[in-house]
Structure 1
Amino acid sequence: MTVSTTSARRLRLPEMTSSAFLIIAFLSGIAGALQTPTLSLFLTTEVKVSPFMVGLFFTGSAVLGIFVSQFLASWSDKKGDRKSLILFCCLLGALGCVLFAFNRNYFILLLIGVLLSSFGSTANPQMFALAREHADKTGREAVMFSSILRAQVSLAWVVGPPLAFALALGFGFTFMYCAAALAFLLCGLMVRAFLPSMPKARIKSAATLQAPRSHRRDTLMLFIACSLMWAANSIYLIDMPLYLVTELHLSSKLAGILMGTAACLEIPTMLIAGYFAKRLGKRFLMRFAVICGVIFYISLLFTTGTVMLIAMQLFNALFIGILAGIGMLYFQDLMPGQAGAATTLFTNSTRVGWILAGSVAGLVAQFASYYAVFYAALAMVVLSVICIWRIYEPK
């Protein structure tokens, strides 16, 4: 009886840990989804700064986030317990939310708030890195498990933005940022109570963490490709609402319908891609994704009807869903033994994409038109096709 009870407990523990990973992925996604969509509105209406200062804030946040996350990723891969790092990042993320809730000084928010938020946003990629290590250690199917986790984050981004605007406009930004802080604290409690502790073993040689030379070249190609793909998607998110209203003279609500449709389709796309990744290979799926991206952005140049714009979101979802679900795993395969650095490198490709998108979309729209911006997005996807086709399948 005692033996059977012990065995049952051992069987339940991995399931409890897996469930905790899913809940933490959703909560960390909610924490980010409550802050990012409303940030420009917060800076404009509450902090009362110019559009230029809003742009500077986003750029500064992206650049600082890259440095902080890469530093923490390198440190976590070499030494330290990743679980403790995730808990530390959740606590700093909560402090950052409290600062945004009660402070309205632009420079304090830019210098201190962005730094704290950068630590908070690093909790998510570190959680994915720990999930990969946990899956490898316990013999779980790493691709499918990571795809389900990524789908949880996408689900949070379906729920989070409408909730963020409802809280901010209905109860005020102070209440909304306190809710985000609560999400971070709940995340921290879940991490402390349920995630596995996997301290790094002492490394005898720095060469242990060096990927093969061919993989380093492929990793660079993949980073460039992912950055360009995220930049194209960010250009679309920035430009589409303005293009619909000013040039197609359609309802602004259509932008929300288009983005919501794509977000909903991305979730099953990630799960299906995770299921077929082992059978078809990650390189094949990434190639398929960029081809879908080319089809989507070419279609945007020739489509003006509401029904067709909605129908085209299938290609957009295939493009972004596979990128979000498989791209991170591709980095991890190309950088064996460096799960933290690989996951963070993928996350930083989204930040580089936002930096590129902000400058390109603004310049092209200023001197040409909102329609012309989609040509720039198409050019980025075509360049990413070239990069993806030069990457070998990791073994």
Structure 2
Amino acid sequence: MFRELLKIKNYKLFLLDMMLLGMALAITVPFFILYATQELGMTRGMYGVMMALFALAGFLVNTIVARFSDKSGFKRKYMIMFSLIMSSIAFSSYFFIHTPVIFIMMYVFFAGLGAPAMPQMYASARESINASTSNKNAVLANTVLRSMFSFGFLFGPLVGTILLKHFGYAGLFGGTILCYLVALLTILVFYKDIERPVIKREKGYVEPIVPNLLRDMYLLVPFLAFVFLHIGQWMYTLNMPLFITEYLNASESNVGYLASLCAGLEVPFMIVLGIMASKMQTRTLLMIGALLGGGYYFSIGVFDSVTAMLIGQVALAFFLAILLGLGISYFQDILPDFPGYASTLFSNAMIVGQLVGNLLGGFMSGIVGLGNVFFVSAAFIAVAFILLIFTKPVKMEDIG
């Protein structure tokens, strides 16, 4: 089964690049807020605003690209390359900008332009899957692809810890830029264009209409559910480093350990879930994941312990494996004729969740305190669970 996946055009290339994207983000993400608040001089509120603005910029860019990315003349290769260049410039701001407000402006602008890289990779991979295998392999192919992103997250925080220790924040941001540039080079050299099937427009043929998120409830309900899931997750991501270092007074290295352990567990979980998804409803798995994720966030406020958080990474990893590994396939299966739009819906749900999660994460931690903010995360997961009950069930047996 896995050998068949490796025969898909560009699939091995995307496996490598997804790992590089995961590593690029994981090198800096656990330490970004520490740099921004402790070195650059931002307040927590300013950092939350920066991440929210970045999410908004990414949402807008993704939405614009999605409107024409599924048209026959669109070249995903150049969009991916452009996005990787923009992401490299965003993180290079560290070397030139030392004023918080200007840093925020530079990071938001260029990182927002870099947002389409991942959804366009997913869309390109789905087109290759459709052209070379049956749709029944699509979930496994997507989950394996997403597992490589998590595989990069497995090593990223450890690499980031080493770079930070020996080279400071210059090594941290330099490592991220290097990952993006290597991915850019591989796309430039090894990417092969995918020939999209030419549709014979016989008499009576009706061109598929791009769906409307606000009009079509079968898209809006799962979209909102995913937004709430990501709000809970990003509130956790924002506050976890501060909870470890300021509330529990534990070492910064624990931040890297937690992120690496979670990412390491995600990889095998995603592969197993990719196989399970061919026999179970994706919605059922998503609801199970929500229960585990919400339970973990609730437990943080109960136990106030790094050890408990380390144990809880099993539940968190299973939740994220389902959310990130199966979510993209769920949207693509709802919209099989629009892989770019479907991939963008998934990415935009994450971006909106990131925007709101970062704003609320900083705001709520100031109101309820770092010791109680994770209860709020759990509440958002609970709302998402309720919404998932009303989403459209999609089983692979029902697909083409």
Change (3 A) 1:299 1:206: farther
User: Separation in 1 of the partners of 2:93 and 2:160?
Assistant: 17
Shift of 1:197: 1.0
User: Separation in 2 of the partners of 1:53 and 1:183?
Assistant: 27
Query: 1:9-20 counterparts in 2 under 5 A?
Result: 14=7, 17-20=10-13
Unaligned runs of 5+ in 1: 1-10
User: Separation in 2 of the partners of 1:311 and 1:215?
Assistant: 43
Shift of 1:85: 1.4
Query: 1:273-352 counterparts in 2 under 5 A?
Result: 273-304=273-304, 308-352=308-352
Shift of 1:267: 1.4
Aligned to 1:154: 150
User: Separation in 2 of the partners of 1:22 and 1:126?
Assistant: 14
Aligned to 1:4: none
Change (3 A) 1:51 1:215: closer
Change (3 A) 1:173 1:294: closer
User: Separation in 1 of the partners of 2:277 and 2:215?
Assistant: 19
Shift of 1:254: 4.8
Post-superposition Cα deviations, 1:264-296, rounded to whole Å, max 9, x if no partner, equal 221111111111111112122112212223433
1:27 is matched by which residue type in structure 2?
L
Query: 1:354-369 counterparts in 2 under 5 A?
Result: 354-369=354-369
Change (3 A) 1:57 1:206: farther
Question: Is 1:53 equivalent to 2:53 in the alignment?
Answer: no
Question: Is 1:22 equivalent to 2:15 in the alignment?
Answer: yes
User: Separation in 1 of the partners of 2:81 and 2:389?
Assistant: 39
Query: 1:231-310 counterparts in 2 under 5 A?
Result: 231-243=231-243, 254-304=254-304, 308-310=308-310
Aligned to 1:124: 118
Shift of 1:154: 0.7
Question: Is 1:68 equivalent to 2:61 in the alignment?
Answer: yes
Q: Greater helix percent: which structure?
A: 1
User: Separation in 2 of the partners of 1:41 and 1:182?
Assistant: 21
Change (3 A) 1:279 1:85: same
Kept in 2, the 8 Å contact 1:265–1:317? The answer is: yes
Shift of 1:158: 1.9
User: Separation in 2 of the partners of 1:246 and 1:99?
Assistant: 27
Kept in 1, the 8 Å contact 2:5–2:141? The answer is: no
Kept in 2, the 8 Å contact 1:222–1:387? The answer is: yes
1:198 is matched by which residue type in structure 2?
I
Unaligned runs of 5+ in 2: none
Shift of 1:125: 1.7
TM-score by length of 1: 0.85
Change (3 A) 1:370 1:44: closer
Aligned to 2:140: 144
2:275 is matched by which residue type in structure 1?
Y
Aligned length: 385
Deviates more, 1:343-352 or 1:202-211: 202-211
Kept in 1, the 8 Å contact 2:95–2:170? The answer is: yes
Deviates more, 1:247-256 or 1:84-93: 247-256
Question: Is 1:184 equivalent to 2:180 in the alignment?
Answer: yes
Aligned to 2:166: 170
Kept in 1, the 8 Å contact 2:30–2:259? The answer is: no
2:269 is matched by which residue type in structure 1?
T
1:238 is matched by which residue type in structure 2?
L
Tell me which of 75, 85, 101 is aligned to 2:79. 85
Kept in 1, the 8 Å contact 2:158–2:257? The answer is: no
Shift of 1:201: 6.9
User: Separation in 1 of the partners of 2:33 and 2:18?
Assistant: 25
Change (3 A) 1:194 1:12: farther
Aligned to 1:34: 27
Post-superposition Cα deviations, 1:54-109, rounded to whole Å, max 9, x if no partner, equal 33322221111111122122221234111221122223333334444333344544
User: Separation in 2 of the partners of 1:100 and 1:251?
Assistant: 24
Instruction: Tell me the percent identity.
Output: 26
User: Separation in 1 of the partners of 2:305 and 2:5?
Assistant: 52
Shift of 1:249: 6.6
User: Separation in 1 of the partners of 2:107 and 2:370?
Assistant: 33
Shift of 1:390: 0.2
Change (3 A) 1:314 1:81: same
1:260 is matched by which residue type in structure 2?
S
The alignment partner of 1:371 has SS state of: coil
Question: Is 1:375 equivalent to 2:369 in the alignment?
Answer: no
TM-score by length of 2: 0.84
Kept in 1, the 8 Å contact 2:218–2:392? The answer is: yes
Shift of 1:335: 2.1
User: Separation in 2 of the partners of 1:325 and 1:18?
Assistant: 16
The alignment partner of 1:312 has SS state of: helix
1:150 is matched by which residue type in structure 2?
R
